[in-house]
Structure 1
Amino acid sequence: MKFNSTLCFAGLLLGSIPGALSQDAKFAKAIDEYIDQRFEAPAEATAALLEELRKAGMKNAEQLEDAIRAPRASYPEFPDLKGQMMTMAVECYHVDYKTRTFLLGSPDLDLEKPVSLVVVGHGGNSSMTPQRAEATAEMYLKAYAPILKDWNAVLVVPSSSRGWGHIGNSLILSSISQVSRMIPVDPDRIYVTGQSMGGHMAFRAALILPDRWGAVSPHSGGYNFVEKGNIANLFAVPGYAVWGRTEPYGINTDNRANQRWAKEHGLDDWTWVEKNGGHTIYQDELPRIAKFFRDHPRNLYPSMVYFRMGGAMKFVKTWNVQGWPEHTIHSETRPLRWNQRHWIEVEPRPDEKTPLEVLATLSDEKPNHFEILTNHVRKLTMLIHPDRMKVDLSKPLSISVNGKTEFSGIVKPDPAGMLNRVREYDDRGRIYHASVTLELDSDQEINFEKELASRR
């Protein structure tokens, strides 16, 4: 494994990777250009693209999904990434912060196949110098390198001198966006791990942006989420938590509390491992974590969705850290939001003191029927993927909210909505064919623990 190659990808000309995955040439370039515009696209861009695709022969939403999920028409030419470390300049999309991200390809990296990404959060603090952040990121890249063995994957290790709050979230997502334009990334096989401050980041990724990842693995990080009242949000994504018996800062006792709750309440998609040691990266766990990741592609369409969140659910302010400049957040023009959880999206109520809460299930007994419980929610959108959610859009669909039928009828496919959501999130796997938006005026207390027990 070599660690002495450095490359900045900015300004490289586009070219085709020999033998790389291809998609229908009639659709590829147009879809690439549309998604690359993100929020800078003109208002008529979606309608114009749909008309262009229709004229090129696209007939239905299924064909559109296939075209979106397919690899890009072309990728940059760059030196072989097999077993090589490279760096790239990254400019955050949602905030005015620039830094560098380290990449490391697996020894047998094959760009003719979809590539998994493993994002690693490094330790340190929120006021590191850029030089120290880069040195720390490179150290973590080397420590996590064994996770790539026998896996077609790339490590993505951003260097952050702004911690792992919302600037860190933007940095992670911006790095993923950039890498996805360099190599054919599988959008449903992106994972997050990290240790110490990076372990906090992995937990935050699970709690705030869970439907972006296949799974997460926090190491020697996290807080007592039982006390914070948000541990149930971990149901949204599988996890593999590791910590030492003699951790500082109460990390060991916090993780034990989380572990107890998880075992008592059926958080079965999480593995909890306490090691006989302290605050470190446990190398013997990396092969097991790699297998855990490989066994868990992202599932955007679970039969049950739980959501508990308050505030603006959007990046509107940074941490108030002494020494930081006054950052400009593009909250209106390039929003980073987290009010969607899988196939449920709520309208935030920033002035509401109590968190908004939703428990939504696809009925096993009644076809095309959804049962939703909500508390303090006034507007909700339900997103639909017919095949993955076993919904027949040719037949009436019914939605019950807090015991009352709020919708019953035919739902038509919405290709414009599909494209808009993919472009906003820059996520080619975030596919929904249709949606229903409901205005609500009722509340119901949700005992999530009781609901879980009734389903076990």
Structure 2
Amino acid sequence: MSNRFSPVALIVLSLAIFAFFHQAAAADDAELRKALDAYIDGRWLPESEADKATEEIVKKIKDADCSIEKVEELLRMGRATYGEVKAKGKMLNLQFKNKDGKAGQTLQLPLLELQCEHVDYSTSFFLIVPKSYKPSKPAPLLIIGHGGNSAMSAEYATQATLGGTLPWLPIAQRHGMIVVAPLSERGWGGIGYSIIFSLLSWTQRQFNIDPDRIYLTGHSMGGHLSHRSAIFLPDRWAAVSPMSGGYDYVNEKHPKATRAMINVPGYATFGKKEPYDINKFNHIIDDWMQKNKFDWINAEKPGGHEIYNDELPKIAKFMMDRPRNLYRDRVYGYASTSVVYDTPETNPKWSQQHTWNPDRPIQRSTFHWLRMYPTSSDVPEDKREQRIWAVYEGNNRFNLTSENARKARIYLHPKMVD
């Protein structure tokens, strides 16, 4: 009797061995993913506990013989599990009228409660999940900032949010986008960014969000938010879409700040009959961007200060065609005496003034792979604004041209250097 295995038996045996090790590797990955989830969930631990947690997760990564590339892969896969969405709130019932004035379509939207993680302010947000969403597949996320002002009532904020959100719903469904639309009675400054990043943190824990397909848009005050976010927080977004917002970022408001918008693609819309010189400012921005070949579209429309529904499908396609690129070959850094949001605004019209948790600043110091640091307060005022133009030339060469910057850091990634 022969002791040799047949070719078929060898193939079956090889497949069985491969399946065994594959299942074992998958189990190890699942355990490490759970450990990484727990570590990230503990991001607000006291410093001593945080240091201990960091030591423990580093040990688990080493014990798993896991490379830094593998850790990144596991993080990008989302959480190990997603359970039932947990949030307090209510269902808002909307009744629309037909052209003849009679009752028409009805729509239910969940309006959920949100507690800011950085400042003592709470608000609400609308959440719309497409029918196509599956926890096993990362979904794009669209964040919508409403218009208005920094001292508005909850009812005004609700109506402004609905006005900016409803036109997006059929388009978001078509592209499989999850939509979150927060309310802010405090505008979109430091407190507003606490709202946005607290909401982003919550959403990423409840749903499998593609980290490279997070988009930001907004109208009027929300348009200003979108422009500012492109300037100061570009690495957070795949693309932005300001609508009827913007200042003269070329000459007046944060001079030369427009250059920082090269860090993220954008699709802006504005009307010919805008108030507050918004049309004029957008033309100045557009002229500068075209000369410098930015990946931006600035679409002027014949109307005024409004959302142009016919542009929304084009904006959505623009967004979906542009996943975030953390390893772009040129970035522009812009900073001054502060590179964080850590102080709440004040307003005599508010019923309550707010306090920021000093242990929870929001960083606005990183421009993809370039990090800026604050200017010292003893530097003359005309030297406080820092700018760095950083270019990756290939072959492990970086070229940095700086103005007033005294310190910077470059984060090297295997995708960029040997």
Q: If the TM-score is normalised by the length of the shorter chain, which range does it land in?
A: 0.7 to 0.9
Alpha-carbon offset, residue 340 of structure 1: 1.1
Q: 2:298 matched to 1:272?
A: yes
Alpha-carbon offset, residue 85 of structure 1: 3.0
| Amino acid in structure 1 at the alignment position of 2:57 | L
Structure 2 CA distance for aligned equivalents of residues 23 and 174 of structure 1: 31
Q: 2:133 matched to 1:109?
A: yes
Deviations 1:316-375 (A, max 9, x none): 333342223321112x311112111111112211413221111112123xx222222222
Q: 2:281 matched to 1:281?
A: no
Structure 2 CA distance for aligned equivalents of residues 171 and 22 of structure 1: 36
Q: 2:289 matched to 1:262?
A: yes
- The alignment's TM-score, normalised by the length of structure 1, stands at 0.76
Q: 2:266 matched to 1:210?
A: no
Q: 2:60 matched to 1:52?
A: yes
Alpha-carbon offset, residue 157 of structure 1: 0.2
What corresponds to 2:198 in structure 1? 174
What corresponds to 2:99 in structure 1? none
Structure 1 CA distance for aligned equivalents of residues 112 and 411 of structure 2: 36
| Amino acid in structure 1 at the alignment position of 2:74 | A
148-157 or 210-219: which moved more? 148-157
- Out of 36, 40, 46, the position equivalent to 1:35 is 40
Q: Secondary structure at the match of 1:156?
A: strand
Q: 2:373 matched to 1:347?
A: yes
What corresponds to 1:321 in structure 2? 347
Alpha-carbon offset, residue 226 of structure 1: 1.2
Deviations 1:136-168 (A, max 9, x none): 223322132233142121111000000011111
Alpha-carbon offset, residue 187 of structure 1: 0.9
Q: 2:386 matched to 1:356?
A: yes
- Out of 304, 313, 318, the position equivalent to 2:330 is 304
Q: Which has the larger radius of gyration?
A: 2
Structure 2 CA distance for aligned equivalents of residues 150 and 84 of structure 1: 19
Alpha-carbon offset, residue 107 of structure 1: 4.1
Q: 2:398 matched to 1:370?
A: yes
377-386 or 159-168: which moved more? 377-386
Alpha-carbon offset, residue 78 of structure 1: 4.2
350-359 or 83-92: which moved more? 83-92
- Out of 77, 86, 91, the position equivalent to 2:84 is 77
Alpha-carbon offset, residue 380 of structure 1: 1.6
- Out of 24, 31, 49, the position equivalent to 1:26 is 31
Residue pair 1:94, 1:329 contacting (<8 A) in 2 also:
yes
Q: Structure 1's 218 and 179: CA in aligned 2 closer, same or farther, altered over 3 A?
A: same
How many residues align? The count is 363
Q: Structure 1's 103 and 196: CA in aligned 2 closer, same or farther, altered over 3 A?
A: same
Alpha-carbon offset, residue 119 of structure 1: 0.5
Identity %: 39
Structure 1 CA distance for aligned equivalents of residues 28 and 78 of structure 2: 6
What corresponds to 1:252 in structure 2? 279
Structure 2 CA distance for aligned equivalents of residues 158 and 386 of structure 1: 37
Structure 1 CA distance for aligned equivalents of residues 71 and 179 of structure 2: 30
Q: Secondary structure at the match of 2:137?
A: coil
Q: Structure 1's 144 and 350: CA in aligned 2 closer, same or farther, altered over 3 A?
A: farther
The runs of 5 or more residues in structure 2 that have no matched partner are: 1-25, 92-106
Q: 2:321 matched to 1:295?
A: yes
Structure 2 CA distance for aligned equivalents of residues 381 and 217 of structure 1: 29
Residue pair 2:333, 2:372 contacting (<8 A) in 1 also:
no
- The alignment's TM-score, normalised by the length of structure 2, stands at 0.82
Q: Secondary structure at the match of 2:342?
A: coil
Q: Structure 1's 322 and 333: CA in aligned 2 closer, same or farther, altered over 3 A?
A: same
What corresponds to 2:262 in structure 1? 235
| Amino acid in structure 1 at the alignment position of 2:119 | V
92-101 or 372-381: which moved more? 372-381
Structure 2 CA distance for aligned equivalents of residues 114 and 190 of structure 1: 11
Structure 2 CA distance for aligned equivalents of residues 375 and 244 of structure 1: 35
Q: Secondary structure at the match of 2:250?
A: helix
**1:53-202 map, 5 Å:** 53-55=61-63, 57-78=64-85, 85-202=109-226
Structure 2 CA distance for aligned equivalents of residues 378 and 226 of structure 1: 24
Alpha-carbon offset, residue 249 of structure 1: 1.2
Q: Secondary structure at the match of 1:202?
A: helix
| Amino acid in structure 1 at the alignment position of 2:285 | N
What corresponds to 1:383 in structure 2? 411
Larger relative helix fraction? 2
Residue pair 2:339, 2:373 contacting (<8 A) in 1 also:
no
Residue pair 2:334, 2:372 contacting (<8 A) in 1 also:
no
Q: Secondary structure at the match of 1:38?
A: coil
282-291 or 93-102: which moved more? 93-102
210-219 or 96-105: which moved more? 96-105
